[in-house]
Chain A
Amino acid sequence: GDSVTQTEGPVTVSESESLIINCTYSATSIAYPNLFWYVRYPGEGLQLLLKVITAGQKGSSRGFEATYNKETTSFHLQKASVQESDSAVYYCALGEGPGYQNFYFGKGTSLTVIP
């Protein structure tokens, strides 16, 4: 079945350092799934950070970027310079596209940014 694997946390980085959270996926029922990063800030609900539905494209939001790489089946989340306000739990997710109901989430990566 389909699955998503991401960096196990917790991850701790200092402010202004770069960040990469790895995400790889396995999609057996559809060739090119839709890929998402969701985030849960402390005290808030899970919300969409960015999404990419076309292989080879890059999504970006709030200084974060992720590129849909179908060759390596990866969708790593990167940021050049993190801020304390980026401390949150990040989830990589796979959606099978129109007509399919299945949505798969990674287990989440807890990020703490030290000022």
Chain B
Amino acid sequence: DAGVTQTPRHEVAEKGQTIILKCEPVSGHNDLFWYRQTKIQGLELLSYFRSKSLMEDGGAFKDRFKAEMLNSSFSTLKIQPTEPKDSAVYLCASSWGTGTYEQYFGPGTRLTVL
């Protein structure tokens, strides 16, 4: 079975650029999550989709972060414009459902903003 795939694995951007990260969830999963991971803050939820509908837009991340799920098998996370403080690992995860169910994580995209 294919797990969660994320591309690219590494991204380097200049301050002010727009970057788009991509995620393909496990086939058949209903829920998709985007997280940001840093050493200081740990895992922070950015966005959450249930059956392609946006359920959580990340509060403080709303301004420059936008996640979309165009179909059940593909999601993007756009950061516009990027800032150096956005340097982190961005993780995508999918699940059959919320709370009770295991989340399957992708390998992550390491973003460096110069």
Contacts and interface: CB of A to CB of B under 8 A. Distances in A.
A96 B42 CA distance: 19
Interface stretch (B20-28, B63-71, B78-86, B97-105): B97-105
Interface in A16-34: 33-34
Interface residues of B, number: 26
B105 A99 contact: no
Interface in A34-61: 34, 36, 38, 44-48, 51, 53
A107 to B, nearest CB: 4
B99 A105 contact: no
A90 interface: no
For chain A, give the interface size range: 20 to 34
Contact of A105 (B43, B97, B102): B43
B98 to A, nearest CB: 5
Interface string B89-114: 00101000111111111111000000
B95 to A, nearest CB: 9
A45 B50 contact: no
B101 to A, nearest CB: 8
Contacts of A96: 98-99
B99 A47 contact: no
Given A45-B107, A106-B42, A108-B42, A100 B98 contact: yes
Contact of B99 (A34, A91, A106, A107): A34
Contacts of B99: 33-34, 95-103
9 contacts: A38-B105, A44-B107, A46-B91, A46-B105, A48-B102, A98-B97, A99-B98, A100-B98, A107-B41
